Every structure is written in C-alpha cells, then in structure tokens.
Structure 1
Amino acid sequence: MKKRVLSLMLTAVMAMGLAVGCGPADTGAPADTAADAATETTDEGGSAASTGKKVAVAMPTQSSERWINDGSNMKEKLEALGYEVDLQYAEDDVQAQVSQIENMIAAGADCLVIAAVDSSALVNVEAQAKEAGIPIIAYDRLLMDTDAVSYYATFDNKGVGTAIGKYIEESKDLANATDSYTIEFFMGSPDDNNAVMLYNGLMEVLQPYLDNGTLVCKSGRTSFEDTCILRWSQEGAQKNCEDYLTGFYANDKLDICATAFDGFAYGCKAALEGAGYKVGEDWPLITGQDAELMATKNIIAGSQTMSIYKDTRLLADKCVTMVQAVLEGTEPEINDKEQYDNGKLVVPSYLCTPVAVDKDNYKEIIVDGGYYTEEQLAD
C-alpha cells in the first residue's frame, strides 16, 4: 500500500523514539564462577553481585511467539549477569500460574517478574510475595489491585492503539474521504489492562469518523465490552469475524478489520478466506500487533496490512535493569509515573515506543534491525 507523507512522518518519529527512548542496556559479560560474579561490574559501572540470587519469571503462554521470545530474551540477559533464572509458562491457565508463583516463592526467589494470565487472580499470591520480602516487577501486563508491585516494564500501550488508528486514518485518507468504509473491531482480553489502553488510543483517533459516518460498523459492536476477546484468543477472533461476515456483510464488503493482535489478524484471515475474499481483489485492511514472524510474512504476501513492531529484546533489557536495581538497592530508569494506576498505586513504569510496520518499511525496521533475517521471512 502506498503510504502518505504523514504516515511516513509517523513511522519516522516512532522509529526515532524506539532507537532513543528504549535502547538496549549493556548487561556486560556473564560471570564464570561464583567468586567472579560476586565482584564483577557491568560496563555501566554498576555492581553485578548477583551470584546466589534467583529471579523467577512467570510468563502467560507459549502459544504466542512473542511470549516465547520474551522469556528466552529475559533468561539470557539475566543469566549473563550471573542470576539463577526460573522461567515458567502457564499456558493461559490462571490456576497454573498461581501455583507456579506459589512454588517460586517457596523455592526462595529473590525477585519475581510476572506477565499475568489474569492479574485479578494473582492478588493473594502477590501479597504472599510481599510478606516474604520478594519484590515484583510487572512485565508488559499491569498487575492490578495490588500494592506488592514495584515497577512495570511495558510498551506505550495507548500509543499502540494510537498508531493503529493513525495507520487506518492515513491509509484510507479518512479526513478527506467522500465515501464511507465498513469496519469491525477485534480488541484484547478484558482481564488485561493493556487491552483497555490500546482501545482508548485507537478510539481517540477513529471515534470522530464513526460519529460522522465515514466509518460504518454494521455489527454496531464498537465498545470495548462488545469487542474484547478473552485470553487474546485467535479462535475467538475468527468466530467473531465469521459471525460478522455472515450476519452483516452478505451483500456488502468489509473494508477494515481493526485488530489488536497478530493472532486476531490470523483469525480474520481465515474467516475472510472462508467467505471468499481474495488478496489483491476485495481484501480488507487488517491491522495487528507484535510483528510476529508469521504476521510479517503475511504482510509481505498482502494478507495482513500492518502490525505494531515491539522489539522484545529492548523490553527485556529494561526489565533486567529493573531486576538488577531492586536486588542491589538502586533506582531503575523510569519514564512514566502517571498512566499506570492499578487501583492501589500508580506503578512507576518504563514505556518503550511502538512502531508501525507494513510492506513499505518492514525491511528497514525489522530486517535491518536484526529482528528477523531475509531467510526467515522467505521460508
């Protein structure tokens, strides 16, 4: 899709923010022995006296590529500093994650990093961690209704929604449109605060066009409550899209699938193919988030229009510096102390900058940035 000037400016600004605002930390070399690690220092001059300390990392699922990458990046960087790492995945099972964290506490974790399946279910076990003196860092999903969390490492989630909305606005030239476009929404899990923030950012851009009729949602489902999909389920998105196509688009075409996640884009793709839509003919604009390998391949092939690139290597770097700070009694870098109110406190946070990628800029952003190789994308 041919990008307009303002879209190019948006990508450039966000790319600059990523490069400057969330650059990787130099974590130094791994300790060779326990004695070496006790006296080692990082290239930044801070102490890396981490041997004997255990960091427990609770991730939500391995069903999404991004969480696998998050976990492996985190483990690698923490072990390079000499920490022992206990990395576990809950496979989107709430009770399994509760049990995993209970076991991490019992096993003597010195710090917990948690990307929650459902943060509301973790309040009691987080209280146990606080009572045991174990600091908690929330990772890319805010831990709600607890005063046990120390810091939060994430991307600018409202900014993700804004970037998706701006991409739709610019691609369809909504400000100057003389025709209307049909749109349906596929938003994130209702138990994930990030999903709400993304929705808010998206609607700040698109609501005026819904109000004036430039965008038409034939299902009428535009609220977060009506468009959220539990556990970020790809199957849920596919079913919703199938229902919309059958119920509202038998005689009209769907122009835009505004989805909040690459998995949702896959689900919409399957539904559209089943309904007879064809890439290059009547294929809708489909958004996404995470720039997964499959999503990037789909962007190249034309079956997904764009995604939000979130370099998890950079996010892992920021989280690792938070872990190091809480275990060494120093202060990590923070760039937001206002947005992330979890109902008990405003959690000090570091927000990395999201970047919109499509067929026009994926090579510059993703390939040249070393996230994927041309060979991976060609497989």
Structure 2
Amino acid sequence: MNKKRVAALITVLAFSFSALVGCGASNSGTETKDKTESSETGETDSKDSGKITIGYSLKTVQEERWQRELDGCQKAADDLGVEFLYQVANGDAQTQVSQIENLITQGVDVIMVTAVDAGALSNVLQEAADDGIKVLVYDQQLENTYGDAFVGYSDYSNGTLIAQILADKDVSGKVVLLHGDKSSGIEKIIEGEKSILEDLDVEIVMEQYCTNWGAEAALGYAQNALAEQNNDITAFVCMNDGIASGAIQALEEVGMDGKVVVTGMDCELTAVQRISKGTQTSTLYKDSDALSRAAVETAVSLAKGEKITSDNTIDFGVNEMPHVIVSSAIITKDNIQTELIDKGIYTEEEISGK
C-alpha cells in the first residue's frame, strides 16, 4: 500500500473514531456517501482490495435530472465493479470545495465533478491532480481549471437545439431569454441559442440569468417582461425546465399560457406533462443513462492509465483534454410517443398524470 493510501486510511479511521466518541455533529444539509460510511459498517476499504474508487462531487439533486444522473452513475459503477462515492453540495460552492478536499483525503483514484460555480474549483482540482488523482469534469464546463477529460453534451449544440423550435415555428416578434445561473459556465449555450435567433425576425427585449436556475427568479423576470411589453411577447427561450415553469406561471397569470413559445431543457416529467398539455413547447432530452455510463467508463479508463479516445477536445484555460460527447434530442408534443414512451423513458400514465 503506498503512502497516500496509508494516509487516507488513517484519516478515515480517525474520523470514524471521533464520530463515535464525540458528543454529536451538526447536519450541514449535504448528502454524502463516502468511505467513512463503509468503515463504520465494517466493510473492507476498497484500496486494500485494489478496487478502483471514483469520487463524484455533485452540485445538487434539487432538479430531477441530477438525481437521474446520480442513480445512473451508481448503476454503471456497480456494473463495472468499481467503488463509487458521492457528495452533494446543495448549491454551495464552498461546501463543494470542502467535499472535494475530503475526497482527496480519502485517496480516491478519480474525482468526477459537476460544479456549483464554474470558477471556484481551480485550486482544489489542481491539488487533486498534484496528488496523482485524475480529474473528470462532468457535463458542466469550468473556468481556468485543469481536467484529464470532459464528459458531457456540446453546450453550443444544445443551445442551437433549444432555440431551433423558434425557427421551426417561424417565430417573429419580441423574445425573452432566461438563462441559467451565470456562475454555471453556460456562455456556449447562449452562443448556440443566439446563432439561431440572429437569423430570425425577432427582437430580444430582455435577457436575464436566473440564480440557481430557479423558477422563482424566472417568474419574476417573466412577470416584468410581460408588464413592460404589455404582454406582447412571442417566446420565452428558457434554459431549463425549472426556468420554463416560472415563465409559464407568469403567462398563466395573464391568460397567455399555451399562446407563447416556451422552451426548456432536461426533459423533467413535469415539463413533458406541460408539453402534452400545450403550455410548454419543447424541452431537450439528455440521455442520463448514456451520459452517466460514459462518465463512469471514462473515469475507469483514466484510473487505469488508458488513453481516452475522442474526436473532440476542450480547454478550460489550463490544458486541452478529450471531450466525450453525448447527443441530446428535441422533445415536442409531436414526438413524445416515439422519443419517450416507446423508449421507456416515461409511461403514458406518468405523462397524463393518471
């Protein structure tokens, strides 16, 4: 056993002992599955058995999509026979830094990360790399940060897909852009959206970032836009389904739901229900099973020192790395049956709400 693994094991045992003798611990509200839990239940440390250990630092499971991703990663890890640890930061960047430091201390082989703040992880991920831990960036781009591989969708392509429905419907007039959280590294998505919009006869009358991708923020912006434009809005280009729900609520308040194009992304069940009902126009289905499996398979390859084969590369300001791309699909009322029901993503009963 090398020195790093010995140190990691000693740290875990010390932490477990302090948890047993202490008077109690405060609950930070984060979700965690790590080696501390394994040691407390008497399981053998995976490092002793030579088992590959992947640690995943995830920004949130508040949105349905990220719970699906987490479940998919766990299933893929189980199938591949690797140890999978995860920690959820619940939208707090400093908590995420601390949790990644904890994964480093545990001596994992690979750290996968989906960031709360695209620019907040430069130092801690460099620390991981310096300690010999591979870094896999999962789906969300970072800023000025090292990585060994990026597994995710093409942000630019997703942006074009989000806005494509406006071109398909020959939308003209006043348009509102409601983006995700500005700290999420979403500029390429915005570029993709605007590449479509610039060829249409539309006027962007409002463009806002929604903190934490929140429906409440989107509701406020949508209400303001409708009031400022005397309800003369033809489309809300929303960057995810939660934001779309806020825009639709604002439209419902003025009796315009179903009369305005509203986009989304992530294919949440509630969004598909709204599309079926006619109040939301589209969403993007991002295949969580395909993405999570690609991420875990890539992480295993990194741990084994294997070359990552990809036709694409990406650079977050520090180094060029392989970019493993998974495709997305536009979902509208016309293809719910073929793209979602027939493929077993959702049932007809789930979508109808019966």
Decide: shared fold, TM above 0.5.
yes
Q: Distance in 2 between matches of 1:373 and 1:328?
A: 39
TM-score scaled to structure 2, two decimals? 0.83
Structure 1: gaps (5+ residues)? 1-33, 39-49, 175-179
SS in 2 for 1:74: helix
Superposition pairs of residues 315-334 of structure 1, within 5 angstroms: 315-334=291-310
- Which residue of structure 1 aligns with residue 167 of structure 2? 169
Counterpart Cα distance in 2 of 1:367 and 1:335: 32
Partners in 2 of 1:342 and 1:372 — Cα distance? 35
* Alpha-carbon distance in structure 1 between the residues aligned to 2:330 and 2:53: 36
Residue 140 in 1 paired to residue 135 in 2?
A: no
Say if 1:111 and 1:134, in contact at 8 Å, map to a contact too: yes
> Separation in 2 of the partners of 1:229 and 1:335?
33
Task: Confirm or deny: 8 A CA contact 2:248 2:257 kept in the other structure.
Answer: no
- How many positions carry a matched residue from both structures? 310
Q: Quote the residue 1:57 is aligned against.
A: 56
Equivalence for 1:70: 69
Distance in 2 between residues matched to 1:333 and 1:307, nearest whole Å: 30
- Contact 1:321–1:332, Cα closer than 8 Å, also in 2: no
Counterparts of 2:191 and 2:330, CA distance in 1: 17
Report Cα offsets for 1:31-72 as digits up to 9, x if no partner.
xxx9xx99xxxxxxxxxxx85332111111111000000011
Contact 2:52–2:82 (8 Å) recurs in 1: yes
Q: Secondary structure at the match of 2:55?
A: strand
**One-letter amino acid matched to 1:116:** A
Aligned pair partner of 2:175 in 163, 175, 183: 183
- Structure in which a larger fraction of residues adopt strand: 2
1:203 aligns with 2:194: yes
Say which SS state the counterpart of residue 55 (structure 1) adopts. Answer: strand
Which one scores higher on RCO, CA 8 angstroms, separation ≥ 6?
1
* Identity rate, percent: 27
For residues 184-240 of structure 1, what are the alpha-carbon distances to aligned partners after superposition, in whole Å with 9 as ceiling and x for unaligned? 1111222222x211111111111133xxxx2133x3x3xxxx422232222111111
Q: Which amino acid aligns with 1:117?
A: V
Q: Within 2, Cα distance between the matches of 1:205 and 1:52?
A: 47
Select the residue among 229, 254, 257 that pairs with 2:233.
Answer: 254
**Aligned letter for 2:319?**
L
Secondary structure at the counterpart of residue 291 of structure 2: helix
Partner of 2:6: none
- In the other structure, the counterpart of 1:359 is 333
RMSD: 2.2
In structure 2, what is the Cα distance between the partners aligned to 1:346 and 1:190?
Answer: 23
C-alpha distance after superposition, 1:63-122 (max 9, x if no partner): 100000001100111122221111121111111111111111111211111000013111
Counterpart-to-counterpart distance in 2, 1:151 and 1:230 = 28
What displacement does 1:136 show? 0.7
